[in-house]
Chains A and B, each alone.
Chain A
Amino acid sequence: MPEIKVNDLTHTFGKGSPNALTVLEGIDLTFETGSFNTIIGTSGCGKSTLLKMMAGLFDPSDGEMTLDGTVIKGTDRRRGMVFQQDAVFPWMTVAKNISYGPRLRGASKSDQREIETKWAKMVGLTGFEDRWPRELSGGMRKRVDIGRVYANDPDVLLMDEPFGALDAQTKERMQSDLLETWSTTKKTVVFVTHDIEEAIFLSDNIIVLSSRPGRVHHIEKVTLPRPRSNEMRLTEEFLEIKRRLWGMLDH
């Protein structure tokens, strides 16, 4: 069961050098199995850094993280990540991008086809399977990115501002779709965003990080019932949380 624990984690870039930069300090967090967690915080407070360390791309300078009790070291397909930047491979068609992970593990041609069709549909890119990424809009490429990570079927989904580049309508649709997919698969999700409303709409827990060095400033439990609908965005409970969080992010 994919439960992630972060134990007293501190990260300093260029530790020991004169321009060392501590971005995260004393982070203690637990992401329960199957929970949807969102991290918010001002730009540069270390959200991406934290996510990348959870993905195993580099080690924290102090402390550790565990997945089901095993210390996270190095990357693993169980921990999938949607990056803040565009990470779609430009030299592969949309379909080949989507089936990249299964192809690494030698999926058969027919399995590949099935996965490509299924996830292209899920992220609304049916009909674009044979296009090159350069022929897509920024938002469409982001959806390829997301579909590719879903198709790889990780236990833990790390998502770094995946909907940041999308227009309001697409964004709301993608949020609902994400919740739907998540509710059927029950993966543990750690999601990063700048958008407070998005955080409330999606999450069980919202972790507010303080500015650099990032510390856990507050953890908000969102008890809005599930499944969530867009109408809930206007309820008093929702707006109440929004006001509270808004005050915490030092604007």
Chain B
Amino acid sequence: MKVVDILSSRRLQLGVLSIAAVFLVYMWITNQPDNNPALLPPISDIVASFFTNLNSGNLLSALGASLFRITMGFFIGTTLALIVGCMVGWYKTIEYLVDPLIEAVRPIPPLAYIPIIIIWFGIDEFSRVLIITIACFMVCVVNVIAGMKNVPQVYVDAASTMGASRFQVFRTVAIPAATPFIITGYRIALGAAWTTLVASELLAAQNGLGFLLQEGRRYFATDQVMMVIVIIGGCAFIMDRIFRRIQAYLMQWSEARE
């Protein structure tokens, strides 16, 4: 326990150090007399922009809209991925049926669907959530399938010689054995959700963080752009942390614990 404590605190120190270094370098550059604040706004401007947008309510409504889309898309996409992935990974018939389809569609970047989705469903909330859903589904399902296929045979054999039915083996062996893969899939899906969220909002939205970015660009408010970037980074970071907690809890049994 001691060693872990020291290690994690050292980790924290170094992490803070590297962030502080970037911060200082940025401050130093923006303090140079020949710096153009329209390209690299000083930190004070970025903070000011944060408070302006906070007070006007723009920031919170944008954050709310984006978090709603992310949550919906992520939740629906990964849930579908879990169901489809388990079926494909566990039942040979379904695998032969569905796997070629997934393999064919997988390399297509989810953003490529944006035009066709806009044509079909218009520029509305449904379309944006749909794009995130597709992105989350695609990256997650591959991991779920891989997890199911990597269940060590000896565990399956052990369970079935003890009288487990095929479904019991699935529930008591395959799912837990595949958990590391599944969680990884969820984490990658979270990253994909942010990417597609911002992209879909840049193209077609009247609110959301991506829209704030776009607005900042249009009015040349670089401080606003920078501010939104930091907010997105912060949100994604916090979500990933929460995920790691969940992962650590579900994976107590595993040797590899981060």
Contact = CB atoms under 8 A, between A and B. Distances in A.
A93 to B, nearest CB: 8
A79 B177 contact: no
B164 to A, nearest CB: 5
B252 A132 contact: yes
B3 interface: no
B154 A134 contact: no
Interface residues of A, number: 28
Contacts of B253: 90-92, 132-134
B162 A57 contact: no
A85 B42 CA distance: 62
Contacts of A134: 253-255
Contact of A91 (B162, B168, B179): B179
Given A91-B179, A132-B253, A76 B163 contact: yes
A86 B160 CA distance: 15
Contacts of A76: 161, 163
Interface string B168-179: 100011001101
Interface string B134-174: 00000000000000000000110111111110001000110
A80 B162 CA distance: 6
Contacts of B179: 91
A7 B158 CA distance: 25
Contact of B161 (A80, A91, A132): A80
Nearest to A57: B157
A85 B154 contact: yes
Interface string A66-87: 0000000001110111010111
Contacts of A105: 163
A104 B162 contact: yes
Contact of B162 (A90, A92, A148): A148
Contacts of A52: 157
Interface residues on B, range: 20 to 34
B176 A57 contact: no
B256 to A, nearest CB: 10
Contact of A79 (B155, B159, B161, B255): B161
Nearest to A145: B158
Nearest to A74: B160
B79 to A, nearest CB: 22
B176 A104 contact: no
B172 A104 contact: yes
Interface string A139-158: 00000000011001000000
Contacts of B162: 77, 80, 100-101, 104, 148-149, 152
Given A92-B253, A104-B162, 6 more contacts: A87-B158, A92-B176, A100-B159, A101-B162, A149-B162, A152-B162
Interface of A: 52, 55-57, 75-77, 79-81, 83, 85-87, 89-92, 100-101, 104-105, 132-134, 148-149, 152
Interface of B: 154-155, 157-164, 168, 172-173, 176-177, 179, 252-255
6 contacts: A57-B160, A77-B162, A87-B155, A90-B253, A91-B179, A149-B162
Q: Which 7 A-B pairs have the closest CB atoms?
A: A77-B163, A87-B158, A91-B176, A101-B162, A75-B160, A91-B253, A81-B161
